[in-house]
Amino acid sequence: MFDSNELNKIKKERQDWEQKKLNPTLERLPGRKDNFVTGSSDLVDTIYSPENLGDLDYAEQVGFPGQYPFTRGVQPTMYRGRLWTMRQYAGFGTAEESNRRYKYLLEQGQTGLSVAFDLATQIGYDSDFEMSYGEVGKVGVAIDSLADIETLFKGIPLDKVSTSMTINSPAAVLLAMYIVVAEKQGVPASKITGTIQNDILKEYVARGTYIFPPKPSMRLITDIFAYCSKHVPRWNTISISGYHIREAGSTAAQEIGFTLANGIAYVQSAIDAGLDVDSFATRLSFFFNAYNDLLEEVAKFRAARRLWATIMKDRFGAKNEKAKMLRFHTQTGGSTLTAQQPMNNIARVTIQTLAAVLGGTQSLHTNSYDEALALPTEESVRVALRTQQIVAHESGVADTVDPLAGSYYIEAKTNQIEKQALDYIKKIDRLGGVVSAIEKGYIQKEIQTSSYRYLSDIEKEERIVVGVNKFEIEEANKPDLLKVDFLVQEEQIKKLQAMKQGRDNESVQKSLFELRKVAESKNNIMPAILDAVKVYATLGEICGVLREVFGEYKETIVL
């Protein structure tokens, strides 16, 4: 961005400043710390200047929003045209209770839904299965069959609301249920909008709700890509997620590196299955975390966009601009919330919201202040949503595109994170790709090392967490918490058993038999799953057939 004469002049000025101003000041008043580091433990200098950007080519590397390499954002006007989608992840107990919460959130001005499923649903077990004991309705809503999905979306117009579903291994089944419910509302599959997470690779390293081994899991994913590109064209078929990698303790650069490496694996596997990159890649979406180090996080989002665009162009030869765009959802960092003095979390979430918005997110979930203690209450969720609305309407940061661009620090940091992330991708390539790197435990180990270092820094008080290792108080009053009643499990099991008695069991058996045949073949599995769902085969029955055909994944334990 600067020619060498100018840079030399700046260098001389800086040396002069160091001698005359900086050093005398440091002698009188040394820094608060020997080393200043970011949230990801990278060193931070006293000051950044054009010297840090030496050969940055503005037009090539930063450019303008809405065009390659999308460093400054994926749309030309960003939030001046339309604000990001405010989408709170919610769900607990039964479908009835969650349906009420969704209607409440929509009344409060939320613009999209995001469904949290309980763990039994996420792992493809029915509520009456022994492994589901105690988990039914706990971290999300319990779904056993189409009947529950019908209740969940009762009175919610699926042609107007877009829905994101955090579902991975059984994503095909939940998507099928959603398609059928929409059709019953009179909304054709071609009109529905939303996202399924459908990102199995990060489940193996971070989140843990895997069912099948990598190979059949990748086949399910590419079957969904292929089916949706024909029949559900407005659906985001995957949300390639760094969120959980970060929650597991990774750094910002690892979050990007490992997530884009997973992205590469999905794109490659779809290309290998004969799909056209310029078509399916337009429906890929991403999901990232927003932590407290505001500037590092903003740089991270910018680096991710630029790196993905170059990967799609150079590695996969994508020509369609949309196929090179990294569109992403953000959630504020759950693990940054403290159980101590929970109201302080509202301040943390505000900083993280700013990071996501200044980083150009397409949609955002803000965590509630009580989430280090339990699922959020209606009141705490409202505060979280209001935080987004305040940033959107009062802070002014949404009114110009990528306002931090051109900051010497932000641009230097964007370059640095891009390089660090690319180094991880190269390392994973050398290990034979993501699946092999997971089987060798490489990714897990890298995350664990970062996670342990972070916690050790807090323990040594080299890192301050307000209310946890500094500024602590005795707390008598904890906020009112949401409780999911154990009765939910009994109620859900009763509903499931009644549903099974009322359905046409012969059709169910037939559909499961057909599903098995398709699973054993190379044909696309979606139509058979849709048929099974329509006759009210349960999630557990469908996944049970697939478990028998595909087998189950056993984790590589790395310590």
Minimum CB distance to another protein, residue 493 (Å): 14
- Show the tokens assigned to 85: 């989608």
Does residue 50 have a cis bond before it (omega within 30 degrees)? Answer: no
Instruction: Map 351-377 to HEC letters.
Output: HHHHHHHHCCCCEEECCCCCCCCCCCC
Single residue of 452, 498, 509, 551 touching another protein by CB under 8 A: 452
Q: Can residue 375 be called a binding residue for another protein (CB under 8 A)?
A: yes
Number of residues that bind another protein (CB under 8 A): 44
Please choose, out of 269-277, 359-367, 408-416, 463-471, the segment that lies near another protein by the rule CB under 8 A: 463-471
Q: Can residue 484 be called a binding residue for another protein (CB under 8 A)?
A: yes
- Give residue 304's identity as a one-letter amino acid code: A
Ramachandran region, residue 58 (left: φ > 0; alpha: ψ -120 to 50; beta: rest): alpha
- Give residue 147's identity as a one-letter amino acid code: A
Single residue of 279, 377, 389, 448 touching another protein by CB under 8 A: 448
Minimum CB distance to another protein, residue 486 (Å): 7
| DSSP helix/strand/coil, 85 | strand
Minimum CB distance to another protein, residue 99 (Å): 20
Single residue of 126, 135, 223, 531 touching another protein by CB under 8 A: 135
How far is 489 from 486, CA to CA, in rounded Å? 6
Q: Can residue 351 be called a binding residue for another protein (CB under 8 A)?
A: no
Q: Can residue 455 be called a binding residue for another protein (CB under 8 A)?
A: yes
**Of 432, 81, 477, whose CA–CA distance to 268 is shortest?**
432
Q: Can residue 555 be called a binding residue for another protein (CB under 8 A)?
A: yes
Q: At what angle do helices 378-393 and 95-107 cross, to 10 degrees?
A: 30
Angle CA(162)–CA(333)–CA(144) in degrees, nearest 5?
Answer: 45
Minimum CB distance to another protein, residue 6 (Å): 47
Is 26 or 455 the residue whose CB approaches another protein more closely? Answer: 455
Q: Can residue 249 be called a binding residue for another protein (CB under 8 A)?
A: yes
Chain CA centroid to CA 444, Å: 18
Q: Can residue 343 be called a binding residue for another protein (CB under 8 A)?
A: no
How far is 328 from 321, CA to CA, in rounded Å? 16
| DSSP helix/strand/coil, 35 | coil
Minimum CB distance to another protein, residue 217 (Å): 15
- Show the tokens assigned to 49: 């200047």
Site track for another protein across 185-224, x = CB under 8 A: ------------------x---xxx---------------
Q: Can residue 139 be called a binding residue for another protein (CB under 8 A)?
A: yes
Q: Can residue 551 be called a binding residue for another protein (CB under 8 A)?
A: no
Chain CA centroid to CA 26, Å: 42
Please choose, out of 272-280, 389-397, 405-413, 465-473, the segment that lies near another protein by the rule CB under 8 A: 465-473
Single residue of 72, 87, 138, 219 touching another protein by CB under 8 A: 138
Is 302 or 365 the residue whose CB approaches another protein more closely? Answer: 365
Is 429 or 457 the residue whose CB approaches another protein more closely? Answer: 457
Please choose, out of 100-108, 118-126, 403-411, 490-498, the segment that lies near another protein by the rule CB under 8 A: 118-126
Is 207 or 500 the residue whose CB approaches another protein more closely? Answer: 207
Minimum CB distance to another protein, residue 72 (Å): 33
Give the single-character DSSP code of 311: I
Minimum CB distance to another protein, residue 310 (Å): 31
Please choose, out of 225-233, 246-254, 490-498, 531-539, the segment that lies near another protein by the rule CB under 8 A: 246-254
Q: Can residue 468 be called a binding residue for another protein (CB under 8 A)?
A: yes
Minimum CB distance to another protein, residue 417 (Å): 22
Instruction: Map 233-272 to HEC letters.
Output: CCEECEEEECHHHHHCCCCHHHHHHHHHHHHHHHHHHHHH
Q: Can residue 557 be called a binding residue for another protein (CB under 8 A)?
A: yes
Alpha helix ranges (H) inside 368-486: 378-393, 408-430, 434-439, 442-459
Task: Outline where DSSP puts E strands in 139-295.
Answer: 163-165, 194-196, 235-236, 238-241, 284-290
Residue 215 burial by Cβ neighbours in a 10 Å radius (0-12, 13-18, 19+): exposed
Is 71 or 132 the residue whose CB approaches another protein more closely? Answer: 132
Q: Can residue 471 be called a binding residue for another protein (CB under 8 A)?
A: no
How far is 222 from 280, CA to CA, in rounded Å? 10
Single residue of 486, 509, 513, 548 touching another protein by CB under 8 A: 486
How far is 208 from 245, CA to CA, in rounded Å? 11
Please choose, out of 144-152, 301-309, 428-436, 464-472, the segment that lies near another protein by the rule CB under 8 A: 464-472
Is the dihedral angle over the CA atoms 156, 376, 199, 292 positive or is it negative?
A: positive
Residues near another protein (CB under 8 A) are 119-120, 122-123, 125, 130-135, 138-139, 203, 207-209, 247-249, 335, 338-340, 372-375, 448, 451-452, 455-456, 459, 465, 468-469, 478, 481, 484, 486, 555, 557, 559
